[in-house]
């Protein structure tokens, strides 16, 4: 069925929601192609897309279809799937609450018990709730840090982890079997829907607070916190206050606003997200600014140093927190001999160096915290002890009571790290510089190449095909090896030999360079972007920055010549 036939099917649906019909009737041919040629697909962050009419858009019909497919998949996993039930939560976005309700109604009509949060809650709490209620699965309605035009849908297994590709592929098979997604049953068994709130809130926060290592540190410094209008407002300020921190929430962004009208961007990776919070921090003399993304699984920070607020990358925050945890646990004699630290193949290698100093095992996964959550679950079988997991995109996990990124945990441990160094007369920049002096000056960067629409997707594929099939050369760097994760092959250019990669197949290419440097090309799983990641190590911060600039310039010159 082509895009015009799909569009006609929608137009002929007499019960089509009026707002979607109005939008559909106003579309020109190009807009119809964008909305109907493809179907939304599960990527590294689940289902995510622009709100609106069409099979390539987020709307109640696509959500109902996805939920029916997920429900049928779960029924095949266990004979007691319905009795175990599914937990569902949502963020602050347009239609999030409606999508959560539709999902609950589809599942209850299939006979599932449903544990539905009454109001917005963070993604990590949804992951926790799956295990707290002993559910067979979970659903989180969120588009994370994407602009207000987007919404999304993440699915979780019974371990509280987002579905890994093999499982997600089976869900997709079930979804693809559904032809009539306009008449999915949503009217039965509403008595199976149980609304939840306080009980799981209290249990989640109790577990999160167990990560505290030094409860009696002096906390005589000021914090500014912003949830960027998202779900972090539910817990973050009160949790910090309850353990003694002097925190000042940014009132204009502490509202459940789906338009994100009080902030320039909802993504804590972008410096503009901090503008209002930093201005407030200057007024009250705060030492640290904390920002969580809309579903509160990621944390970004800005630190006052020499009169200026300096933004940290996710890699730098992870290095600081990990170094503090390992140092402290060693002093307290609580560092496990079989400890594991997990990271991804696009993240900084500095935390790896830190982990190895303390004799931790290190495992590297693909991008997507689902893979770290999967590893955390493996620890339960006696393989080892989970200690820490992180990825460069501002996400980390300290306690595996959650199986996804958790900004509430990250906030608590980051503030404890700051309190520890504050007692020594140091801020977090000073602490990071001490780490650099010991391990070397690591620096990372990322280029997001936005390529919209069908033609953009084709160009991304042409770029990946070029790097996959062409032997490139860099003027200032020596290429030592290349991982083609899609083909599952590592080629060592020094020995001219190839070997298999022990990672799931994914459209990712990584180059290993001299002096522990590297770069990666990876199409985004949730946005129309090609992401290029870089990592370098220098003899000083200036040397590292120069190397990073040179590497990105050389790589992008190759990318830009591909038409």
Q: Classify residue 553 by burial, with Cβ atoms within 10 Å: 0-12, 13-18, 19+.
A: exposed
Q: Which of 144, 348, 399, 552 is catalytic?
A: 144
- Going by C-alpha positions, the residue among 446, 440, 427, 429 that lies closest to residue 350 is 440
| Token code pair at residue 282 | 């200057």
Q: Is 103 a catalytic residue?
A: no
Matching residue, tokens 């999304």: 152
**Interatomic CA distance for residues 89 and 323, integer angstroms:** 33
Matching residue, tokens 């089509």: 16
**Interatomic CA distance for residues 534 and 545, integer angstroms:** 11
- Going by C-alpha positions, the residue among 211, 394, 213 that lies closest to residue 311 is 394
* 531, 524 Cβ separation under 8 angstroms: yes
* 286, 304 Cβ separation under 8 angstroms: yes
Q: How many residues does the chain have?
A: 563
* 529, 521 Cβ separation under 8 angstroms: no
Alpha helix locations (H) across 26-122?
29-36, 60-77, 81-84, 96-109
* 394, 300 Cβ separation under 8 angstroms: yes
Q: Classify residue 362 by burial, with Cβ atoms within 10 Å: 0-12, 13-18, 19+.
A: middle
DSSP 46: B
**Interatomic CA distance for residues 161 and 168, integer angstroms:** 12
Residues that are catalytic: 144
């Amino acid at each position: 069925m082509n895009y015009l036939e799909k569009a006609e099917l929608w137009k002929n649906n007499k019960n089509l929601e009026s707002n979607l019909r109005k939008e559909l009737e106003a579309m020109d041919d190009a807009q119809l192609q964008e909305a109907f040629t493809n179907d939304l697909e599960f990527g590294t962050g689940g289902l995510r897309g622009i709100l609106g009419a069409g099979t390539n858009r987020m709307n109640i019909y696509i959500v109902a279809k996805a939920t029916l497919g997920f429900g049928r998949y779960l029924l095949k996993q266990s004979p007691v799937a319905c009795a175990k039930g599914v937990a569902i939560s949502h963020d602050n976005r347009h239609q999030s609450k409606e999508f959560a309700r539709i999902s609950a109604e589809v599942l209850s009509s299939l006979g599932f018990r449903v544990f539905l949060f009454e109001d917005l809650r963070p993604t990590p709490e949804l992951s926790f709730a799956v295990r707290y209620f002993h559910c067979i699965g979970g659903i989180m309605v969120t588009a994370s840090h994407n602009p207000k035009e987007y919404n999304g849908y993440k699915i979780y297994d019974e371990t509280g982890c987002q579905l890994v590709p093999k499982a997600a592929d089976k869900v997709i098979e079930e979804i693809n079997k559904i032809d009539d997604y306009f008449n999915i049953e949503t009217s039965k068994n509403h008595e199976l829907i149980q609304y939840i709130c306080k009980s799981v809130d209290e249990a989640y926060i109790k577990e999160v607070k167990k990560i505290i290592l030094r409860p009696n540190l002096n906390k005589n410094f000021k914090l500014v916190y912003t949830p960027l209008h998202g779900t972090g407002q539910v817990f973050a300020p009160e949790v910090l206050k309850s353990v003694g921190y002097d925190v000042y929430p940014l009132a204009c962004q502490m509202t459940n606003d789906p338009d994100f009208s009080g902030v320039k961007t909802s993504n804590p990776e972008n410096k503009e997200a901090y503008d209002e919070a930093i201005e407030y921090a200057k007024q009250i003399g705060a030492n640290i600014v904390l920002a969580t993304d809309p579903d509160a699984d990621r944390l970004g920070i800005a630190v006052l140093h020499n009169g200026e607020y300096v933004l940290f990358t996710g890699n730098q925050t992870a290095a600081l927190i990990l170094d503090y945890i390992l140092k402290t646990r060693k002093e307290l004699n609580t560092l496990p001999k079989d400890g594991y630290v997990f990271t991804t193949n696009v993240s900084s290698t500095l935390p790896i160096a830190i982990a190895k100093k303390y004799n931790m095992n290190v495992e590297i996964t693909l991008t997507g915290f689902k893979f770290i959550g999967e590893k955390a679950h493996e620890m339960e079988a006696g393989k080892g002890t989970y200690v820490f997991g992180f990825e460069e995109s501002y996400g980390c996990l300290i306690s595996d009571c959650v199986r996804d990124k958790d900004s509430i945990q990250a906030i608590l441990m980051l503030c404890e790290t700051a309190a520890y160094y504050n007692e020594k007369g140091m801020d977090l920049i000073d602490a990071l510089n001490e780490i650099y002096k010991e391990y070397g000056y690591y620096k990372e960067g990322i280029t997001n190449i936005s390529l919209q629409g069908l033609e953009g997707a084709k160009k991304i594929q042409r770029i990946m095909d070029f790097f996959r099939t062409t032997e490139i050369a860099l003027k200032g760097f020596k290429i030592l090896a290349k991982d083609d994760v899609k083909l599952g092959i590592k080629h060592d250019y020094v020995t001219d030999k190839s070997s298999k990669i022990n990672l799931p197949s994914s459209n990712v290419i990584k180059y290993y360079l001299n002096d522990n440097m590297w770069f990666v090309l990876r199409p985004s799983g949730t946005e129309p972007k090609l992401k290029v990641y870089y990592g370098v190590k220098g003899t000083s911060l200036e040397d590292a920055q120069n190397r990073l600039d040179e590497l990105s310039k050389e790589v992008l010159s190759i990318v830009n010549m591909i038409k």
